[in-house]
A and B are shown apart, each in its own frame.
Chain A
Amino acid sequence: KAGVTQTPRYLIKTRGQQVTLSCSPISGHRSVSWYQQTPGQGLQFLFEYFSETQRNKGNFPGRFSGRQFSNSRSEMNVSTLELGDSALYLCASSPQGRGSPLHFGNGTRLTVT
């Protein structure tokens, strides 16, 4: 089976712009979670989608949003980018999400200048 695929791998944006990141989960996995990883804060949970519904949400401002499509692919969007949004954004999929291991993609490295 193909692993979790995240695109693009690297992204450079300017403050105030918006960005959309994409995640294709492992075939058959219905849960997709997003995490932001920074050196100072570590891995912070953004949200989880299951069967096109947001099931959990972390403590991030409304500028961070996401969605999941009927084929389980997911996108996350960040509007009005700030310098502090520079991070590695990781997507993870699992069959059910709860109580099962997460399978991570290699992330999208976002740099905001």
Chain B
Amino acid sequence: SQQGEEDPQALSIQEGENATMNCSYKTSINNLQWYRQNSGRGLVHLILIRSNEREKHSGRLRVTLDTSKKSSSLLITASRAADTASYFCATDAGRDDKIIFGKGTRLHILP
């Protein structure tokens, strides 16, 4: 079963605006990761946040993690056309440490 569930399923915003995607999960995690996938290609790792961290930044990306609510958010600031892609959260599934992905958020940046 899916561990992470992204919300919204799809998001369209104007170039230059900020995009926020959320991920909720069900069980305790060791870490949570965000990935980007351009159409028909492999996933690209964006950022990893460990369970004892609350916030992490990388360039225009900001990730937060709230383990009490079992949720994470990915904020992309000053969006660009090149940010159009699907974004996935991924969690390790506890003791067996499988990395499990959600179904993703499709982000479309409008010119």
Contact = CB atoms under 8 A, between A and B. Distances in A.
Interface of A: 4, 33, 35, 42-43, 45, 48, 56, 58, 88, 90, 92, 97-107, 109
Contact of B98 (A58, A90, A104, A109): A58
Nearest to A59: B1
Contact of A101 (B2, B42, B48): B48
A109 B45 CA distance: 21
A105 B97 contact: no
Chain B at the A interface: mostly helix, strand, loop or mixed? Answer: strand
A37 B72 CA distance: 23
A102 B99 contact: yes
B81 to A, nearest CB: 21
Contacts of A99: 30-31, 92, 97
A43 B44 contact: no
